[in-house]
Structure 1
Amino acid sequence: MLMAIRSPRSMATLLALMNSCSATISVLEKMELPAHGFFRPMKHFTRYLIAILLLAGTQLMAQSRHQKLGDERYNRLAYAKAIPHYKKAIKKTPENVDLVYRLAHSYYLIRDFSGAEAWYTKLMQMEGIPAESHFEYGHVLLQQKRYQEAKSAFAKYQELKPADERGGRFAEALANMKSWYRDSAAYFVENLPFNSRSSDFGAVRFRDGVVFASSRPAGTPTDLIYEGLNAHFLNLYYVKLKDETANNWGNPDMMKGGIRTRFHESSFTVDTSGTLAFFSRNNFLDGKKGKNDAKTILLKIYSLEIKGDKVGNIAEFPFNDDAYSLTHPSISPDGRHLYFSSDMPGGAGGKDIYVSHRQGESWSKPENLGPAINTSGNEVFPFIAQDGNFYFASDGHPGIGNLDIFQTRLSDKGSKIRNIGAPINSEFDDFAIFWNPGNETGYFSSNRPGGEGDDDIYRFKMELPTIQIFVKDSVSQFPIEKAELVLSDTNGVLIASQLTDSTGRGSFKVALANHYRIKVKTLEFDDYDLLVDPQTESGASQFDYYVTLYNPPPAITAHVIDEGSKTAIPNAKIALRRYGSPDTIFRQSDRFGRFSVKLNPNSQYELMVQKEGYFAFKSELSTSRDGFEGDTLIPMRLEPVELDKPMILANIHYDFDKWELREEAMAELFKLGILLEDNPKISIELGAHTDARGSDTYNQKLSERRAKSARNFLISLGISGDRIAYSGYGESQPINECSNGVKCSERQHFANRRTEFTIIGYEGKIIHKPGLPNE
């Protein structure tokens, strides 16, 4: 046990609600709470944790002796002692609205809901009653499971106090209250054996056990009684855990040393290193009491250092103030953020939750967590778990009981506030949740019936639901084995990963309170992002998700280069047209001659690459599985256009003394027609040649007829005649030695009977040559 450790005391909810103690301490110490502080009933300390605004009733002109005695105790927060005086006084003035309200309110504050219900019912029949009484009456009815009547009471409060959003929230939430019981089967809850007949609450893990606050008798000369609750002051205790499975614990030991005082200590919190802790205590340090202007001793936060079995350097949190309370400290797992509850000026209502950030050896000015968290009610007992979930107790957010536990994620903008529901929340006060590492087990406190005393500590275990993911191929419908499943939170923080098995299945255990993202990754298919929200399901322990993966869109990356120099060709224009589609994809090569484009699967494309000064490159692409390999660098070689360089058209030959085109000649000219169509800016000359047999004059005319025949064929294909010149060269330009008088074979003569084309211009205009017979 740690002999030198102990934390602030407050009766179960006392710390949450309680604000102060009186300035005078006697053998029977009297602690008082400020009029706007947190209070706690004699029977159940929980209400102290929530801090309800006390309403000052109108003073009657004449008051009975019992009413005066009742008011004296009521103003001192001794509600149980005020009740018998009010009951006697009300016999004389049964229509006194202020008196009936204070009696009903006293029952409400000590959690005697049967008595409260009777007097609030009478109050509802009177005129001029406080608007807050409808809200309180709604809570009484809620605790008694009279939900429809509770909804009406909250709606009435909303009508009277439209600026206070709580009435509308509660009325609306009651219409959807089934969601509060949705996850009941996911939790196992048990009472812990070290609870006493007094108030025990606020358990947090520390070393091999837990630290908690308790008002059990300390058995010491300074063990004082707090009159407002007729109970002992709170002290911090440490109890060792022997066997959690068997719920076997040691005996609690009070944490002493410099922590314990004559006043309340509770709400212990320690960072994961176990060396820095904080706790709450009445304003008392080094034997001196701090008081506000009303001479009340409020709550403050203190830090302490832990080294081995010793503690030291107890110091005030730098933003404590004698004028208001700071309580319920909770440090983040990384030790960088301290959350706490306070009624400091500028808040939304009773108590708000604030955060201070560690900056080296100091702490930043506290920041209010804002209207998403804080309401005009009370928000207390903050806690942030290792998985980033933020928890707190509130009577301002709609709940099952008066004080419920809620969850959200501070790191997610727009994250909703979620009532974690039954069985952790009940019709009574539930608060001070703590999750153990791993987020499967933890502790919370409650004043629900069936416990050992007033407030008790409960252990819970969460049966984490299983998420199953089944992955299959969109085409074959077969399962995909070894697909990587990456589980992360909504901020992208990795939680776990695994590979699917031979059935395409993978699974994770997750918490109901969270949203998750699962990325499905493979080498062959597109990645798939899945948003998982198990809390939207109802009562299930397993959630199945089916993922169909599709092949990524085929893509080509091409390299446009000069066929001669092999250098890159920048700014080439690319056009891709999918057969069967009217749309064309346009691209342009970059300074490295490259371009990329995604294509549709199982499709046929026509590709055209054009660049000034080059012949167009034309090709067909197929993205069928068998005929295409995506993301491959495809070279596209463009031939430079050279003027006045004759190019022989293969297979354009003629029979002896004929100018009619042979079939193979037509096929070759058809290719030339395509080239002219693909390169609309060039103009050509068709030049025909004969062999040396026959006279020169005859051969000249024969070659002109052959050239004209080729030109006419191209025109018949739709090529403009303005782009085609023709010329007959007769036998003047043989390609072998077969000139006049030379004996040659028929094969040699056949080679000279040929047709050539020469590029002679751009932009569709012919550059005329002398003697060129153009038409």
Structure 2
Amino acid sequence: MTHFYKGSLVFSMLFFVFGKFDARGQVSFTLKEADRFYENYHYAAAIPLYENWLAKRPHDTPVIEKLADSYSKINDSGNEERLYKKLIDENPADKNGLFKYASALAKNGKYEQSIQYFKLFSEKGGDARGLRYAAALQNRDKLYKDSLKVVIKPLIVNSRNDDFSPAFYRNGILFCSDRRSGKVTKTFDWNQSAYLDIYYLKDTSDVYKANESAEVGSKQKKSSVVPQTHSDYTYQTSNDTRTLGYFNRPVHNDSLQLDGTRLVKFSNAINTKYHEGPLVFFNGEDSVIFTRNNYYKGKYKTDNEGVNKLKLFTAKREGETWSVKGFPFNSDQYSVGHPALSPDNKILFFASDMPGGKGGTDIWYCNWSPNGWSKPQNLAEVNTEGQEMFPFVDEQGNLFLASDGWGGLGGLDVFYARNSRQGFDTPRNVGSPINSSKDDFGLIVRDDGRTGYFSSGRNWNKTLDDIYYFKSKTPLVKSYFLKGIAKEDSTNEVLPQTTIVLLNEKEEQIAVVETGADGSYSFPVEPDQKYRLKADKNNYIPYTKSVSTEGMEPGDSTRVDAILSKKDSSSLPIALADSKTNKTPDRADLKEKKNNQDTETEKSLKVNPIYFDLGKSNIRPDAAKELDKIVAVMMENPAMKIELGSHTDARGSDAFNLSLSDRRAKASANYIISKGISPDRIVGKGYGESKLVNGCANNVKCSEAEHQLNRRTEFIVISIVD
């Protein structure tokens, strides 16, 4: 898929090509003529010439490659697969051929084979697209999991030709089409092909209701189709505007176009005798940015190689006419098109193959100021080595785009990049049924995030690109949530009216809620971030826990239940006591000392020591409860720093016991850190068997209960002020 202007054009055709006739009246083609068609982007005309050549010279690799590419350009994926298979049989090390063959297999729904060749492409040194596609197809169940939640219907205004890139306008939509309603009067001089224009469907209230019982892809309310007697292509730009050309007779007319009331051509000031494409309105309905061939004020321009590129133009309504001017960053040497605007109209997104991109066509953006549009910048986080195009921005600032580089079901797929505090997230595939094995692109979504329109080439054996309506039970852009229930530790009962606070990695409060009768809470969160959750309720020990959203998928929820322990006389209040005098200062004394910057050291926490099993360093449930008390005190005293002193009994060698006590100190510290306390507030130290609390030294016979008293961790406050 290399063309830039629009998505897919797959069709059956009759070829009418001027050639040389031999003595028997048969057409005789030369390779030179085939190459001339190919180099001028007339792939349909080149195909029968190359096929004729290969019939006699089946191992001509350069011709195989050109013929395969020609079929790819017209989206004939069946013949594309056949020819690229032939190409890699001739040259198994051809990385480009491997990727194209894998892509053709995907377009034809042969996913297991496709995975094999995408991986082979990667193993041969191919770019990141190989592994992206292999991963996406191996996990394609994810792309189908919400398919029953989305209904799609083709619009009854679709013609047998190309209809694509809808845009909201008043009560209807505008879209691009190369349909013709009568005699073709404006054609490309060399091959007399039809051109794209912008059409206006004034009312969309029932254009899909008529198809309630229709299968996706069906066509209704059509007038008779006039058989076409010739099909060819315009001289394509590098954006590859592939538009059918017709000789002798006009093409299909659809019924709604004929009445001239509901479906009409848009302004003649916008439509010209060349191609007009995707557009977007801004500042109301009287200003528009649109795509057109490099044709302005009667001048048709090309690049240094004679190729006509695409440009963006702005137009402002003045009475019944439009004044048109060019976008300041247009160029004769590269293309810009497919405009989209942020909700505040201050950021313009567009597709371009200008220098400085990642490959193919990329999404670029400009910022608006009173001085005009800023210099374009590459939106690197959404671009790949492939093609990114057809951007659209919803009311929440989320970016939709079409891409063949991020990995999907085949051809162009529709992706969204969620708008977050850090910019745009990595693009995510919107999944089936909006995406298919064929080209899917040009999606627009209403403010509800659930309904809209998109373009697709999935019905290629009957028509070309069509426009579809979609309605989803859930928003297309999936969010991430942290959810849970506040519960009491001992009874597991839910705790209503519990204050739940969410903090980021910098300890900044992001959100706070109070649980309802069911004790539940829910926070929207960002993927791949670290958070801390705090829960507090009167007469309960505060709860805190560190939470990571790394690896979360769109629409997923991470569940963390806040388990709070009830305060009782045996454990609370927890006080600070001088380790030498055992005197407990009151809170006023601590406050005065803090204000005077009089640092108190060597204070032990009035909390039970924690104990360990013989020879082990894991935190037991009874120890966890005591450590939770330490966490609660440290939360209330943000400047407090403590030392964890861990000890062993006398059994075992001195070296082993020193190592074991060190592991116990680290285990105790790690538990407290896991609850959200900064590591720099904790010092862990192992003392081995050097500080026994009784006489159970080496070679002294003691009970197990006496030895247990020595297997402990004690807590010393080394600082309570900054």
Bucket of the pairwise TM-score, normalised by the shorter protein: 0.5 to 0.7
Choose the corresponding residue for 1:392, options 387, 401, 426: 401
In structure 2, do the counterparts of structure 1 residues 601 and 428 end up closer, same or farther at CA, with 3 Å as the change threshold?
closer
What percentage of residue pairs aligned between the two structures are identical?
29
Q: Is the 8 A contact 1:192 1:458 kept in 2?
A: yes
Find 1:92's aligned residue among 56, 75, 87. 56
Q: CA offset at residue 514 of structure 1?
A: 12
Q: For 1:666-716, what per-residue CA distance to the aligned partner results, in whole angstroms no more than 9, with x for missing partners?
A: xxxxxxxxxxxxxxxxxxxxxxxxxxxxxxxxxxxxxxxxxxxxxxxxxxx
CA distance in structure 2 between the aligned counterparts of 1:491 and 1:452, rounded to whole angstroms = 57
Instruction: Indicate the SS of the match to 1:158.
Output: helix
Describe the superposition over 1:426-460 as per-residue Cα deviations: whole angstroms up to 9, x where unpaired.
Answer: 11001111121121112211100279731111122
Corresponding residue of 1:751: none
- Greater displacement, 489-498 / 109-118: 489-498
Q: Structure 1: which 5+ runs fail to align? A: 1-12, 19-37, 46-63, 584-597, 604-775
Quote how far apart the aligned CAs of 1:112 are. 1.8
Distance 1:65 1:209, change over 3 A: closer
How far 1:401 moved relative to its partner?
Answer: 0.8
Local SS of the residue matching 1:196: coil
Give the total of aligned pairs.
530
Cα 1:562/1:99, change in 2 over 3 Å: closer
Amino acid at match of 2:298: G
Quote the Cα distance in structure 2 between the aligned partners of 1:292 and 1:139: 30
State the distance in 2 between where 1:468 and 1:244 align: 41
Q: Name the amino acid aligned to 2:517.
A: S
Q: Aligned-pair RMSD on alpha carbons?
A: 4.7
Letter in 1 for 2:294: N
Deviations 1:287-338 (A, max 9, x none): 222322233321001122357x756342211100111110111111111111
CA distance in 2, matches of 1:339, 1:86: 40
Task: Indicate the residue corresponding to 2:90 in structure 1.
Answer: 126
Partner residue of 2:605?
578
Quote the residue 2:115 is aligned against.
151
Which residue in the other structure is 1:314 paired with?
324
Which amino acid in structure 1 is aligned with residue 178 of structure 2? S
- Tell me the secondary structure at the aligned position of residue 84 of structure 2: helix
Q: 1:39 to 1:182 in 2, by over 3 A?
A: closer
The yes-or-no answer on 1:375 pairing with 2:384 is yes
Equivalent positions of 1:108-127 (< 5 A) are 108-127=72-91
Match of 1:392, as an amino acid? L
Structure 1 position 439 matched with structure 2 position 453: no
Q: Find the residue that maps to 1:194 and give its secondary structure.
A: coil
In structure 2, how many angstroms separate the alpha carbons of the residues matched to 1:314 and 1:489?
49
Unmatched runs of 5 consecutive residues or more in structure 2: 14-27, 212-255, 576-585, 611-627, 634-722
Residue 103 (str. 1) matches residue 132 (str. 2):
no
1:240 aligns with 2:203: yes
Q: What is aligned with 1:689?
A: none
Structure 1 match to 2:308: 297
Once the two structures are superposed, the pairs formed by residues 353-368 of structure 1 within 5 Å of their partners are: 353-368=363-378
2:246 corresponds to 1:283: no
1:713-724 to 2 correspondence within 5 Å? none
Q: 1:514 to 1:192 in 2, by over 3 A?
A: farther
- Aligned equivalents of 1:599, 1:169: Cα separation in 2: 47
Would the alpha carbon gap of residues 443 and 226 (structure 1) be closer, same or farther in structure 2, given more than 3 Å must change?
Answer: farther
The secondary structure found in structure 2 opposite 1:353 is: strand
Are 2:587 and 1:558 equivalent residues in the alignment?
yes
Aligned match for 1:536, one of 540, 553, 557: 553
Distance 1:382 1:559 in 2: 62
Residue aligning to 2:165 = 202
Residues 83 and 313 (structure 1 numbering): CA distance in 2 closer, same or farther, change over 3 Å?
same
Could you say what secondary structure the match of 1:85 adopts?
A: helix
- After superposition, residues 421-500 of structure 1 pair within 5 angstroms as 421-449=431-459, 453-464=463-474, 469=483, 471-475=485-489, 477-481=492-496, 500=515
Aligned partner of 1:17 in structure 2 is 4
Taking structure 1 as the reference length, the TM-score comes to 0.59
Matched residue, 1:43: 11
Say whether 1:166 aligns with 2:166.
no
Contact 2:11/2:460 (8 A) holds in 1: no
Matched to 2:409, the amino acid is: I
TM-aligned CA deviation for residue 237 of structure 1: 2.8
Partner of 2:494, secondary structure, is coil
Shift of 1:212: 1.3
1:261 CA displacement: 0.8
TM-score scaled to structure 2, two decimals? Answer: 0.63
Q: Find the partner of 1:503 among 504, 518, 521.
A: 518
Q: Give a deviation string over 1:552-574, Cα, whole Å, max 9, x none.
A: 997998334999xxxx9773747
Residues 229, 336 of structure 1: CA spacing in aligned structure 2 closer, same or farther, 3 A cutoff? farther
Matches of residues 699-738 of structure 1 in structure 2 within 5 Å?
none
Q: Does structure 2 conserve the Cα–Cα contact (< 8 Å) formed by 1:447 and 1:454?
A: yes
SS at match of 2:48: helix
User: Judging changes above 3 Å, is the alpha-carbon distance between structure 1 residues 96 and 570 closer, same or farther for their aligned structure 2 residues?
Assistant: closer
Residue identity matched to 2:494: P
Q: Aligned partners of 1:432 and 1:453: how far apart in 2?
A: 17
1:235 offset after TM fit, Å? Answer: 2.6
Following TM superposition, by how much is the alpha carbon of 1:255 offset from its aligned partner in structure 2, in angstroms?
0.9
Render the CA deviation track for 1:264-293: whole Å, top value 9, x for unaligned.
Answer: 111111237445421100112222223222
Cα distance between partner residues in 1 of 2:509 and 2:8:
43
